[in-house]
Amino acid sequence: MRKKIIAGNWKMNMTPTEAVNLVNTLKPLVNNEEVDVVFCVPAIDIIPAMEAAKGTNIHIGAENMYFEESGAYTGEISPKMLEDAGVKYVVIGHSERREYFAETDETVNKKVLKALEHGITPIICCGESLTQREQGITIDWIRQQIKIAFLNVTADQAKTTVIAYEPIWAIGTGKTATTEQAEEVCAAIRACIGEIYDEATAEAIRIQYGGSVNAGNAAELFAQPDIDGGLVGGASLKPDFGKIVCYNQ
């Protein structure tokens, strides 16, 4: 039985002061032992958010990292820095990183390998555009993203990772994929992992749905056999996030 994982993706929101306030507001609302709860926050918020979350079930994650240990990479955050800060999760290859910061399947793969090397669980994002969905190439596209992301990742490592399926057309648009659409792709991702590795790896890996998840649609999405939680943007900044995390109560 896979444990559900529900992660907030704060994106470029919340100053350090606001971050502490938000953690304090959400703390009593996200107390659900049955799910792993992660707040992926801007780099500058990681340390204060961790302090605020101390003693709770909230894990603080990062939204990105670079694939080198250290060096002349002005402005980047290294896996070593995240590890030292106690970060256990990092979002890799979000569609906004791919669109605005030129990330590719190849850089995603490098980052995934580095995160694993440092004991950080990558939340590996994939997803199709509206054009791709209309062209009927969604599954082919996602399979390619997954195959490249997992290059040189061992089965034992793959089992510990999290995949977030986020159709780009559903992100921040209020337009959620239907439960059937979300389940279809998450099942295809699991099948793809089964092909790359084996049945045990496919059964172990956790696959989230992301894209306009809210308090009203979370329970139905998370009840699908291949959807093991969600990656939540807009709604993770509001008390509603508590309802999403406690979808089963």
Residue closer to ligand PGA by CB (options 66, 209) is: 209
Contacts (CB under 6 A) with ligand PGA, residues 1-40: 9
Inter-residue contact 87 to 122 (CB < 8 Å): no
208 is a contact residue toward ligand PGA (CB under 6 A): no
Q: Determine the residue type at 230.
A: G
> Minimal distance in Å, beta carbon 217 to ligand PGA?
11
Contacts of 157 (CB under 8 A, 6+ apart): 116
**Eight-class DSSP state of 184:** H
234 is a contact residue toward ligand PGA (CB under 6 A): yes
> Minimal distance in Å, beta carbon 146 to ligand PGA?
17
Inter-residue contact 143 to 188 (CB < 8 Å): yes
The whole-angstrom separation of Cα 10 and Cα 190 is 27
Residue among 63, 94, 103, 128 flagged as catalytic: 94
What residues form DSSP beta bridges with 79?
none
171 is a contact residue toward ligand PGA (CB under 6 A): yes
Residue closer to ligand PGA by CB (options 79, 210) is: 210
Is 166 a known active-site residue? Answer: yes
Tokens of 172: 């921040």
172 is a contact residue toward ligand PGA (CB under 6 A): yes
Tell me the number of residues near ligand PGA by CB under 6 A.
13
Residue nearest to ligand PGA (CB): 233
Contacts of 216 (CB under 8 A, 6+ apart): none
Residue closer to ligand PGA by CB (options 197, 241) is: 241
Cα 213 vs. chain centroid, distance in angstroms? Answer: 13
112 is a contact residue toward ligand PGA (CB under 6 A): no
**Eight-class DSSP state of 177:** P
The whole-angstrom separation of Cα 49 and Cα 25 is 12
41 is a contact residue toward ligand PGA (CB under 6 A): no
SS3 14: coil
Residue among 63, 96, 128, 166 flagged as catalytic: 166
Question: Pairing mode, if any, of strands 162-165 and 121-126?
Answer: parallel
231 is a contact residue toward ligand PGA (CB under 6 A): yes
Stretch that binds ligand PGA, among 60-68, 102-110, 126-134, 228-236 (CB under 6 A): 228-236
Interface residues with ligand PGA (CB under 6 A) are 9, 166, 171-172, 210-213, 231-235
Q: Which residues are catalytic?
A: 94, 166
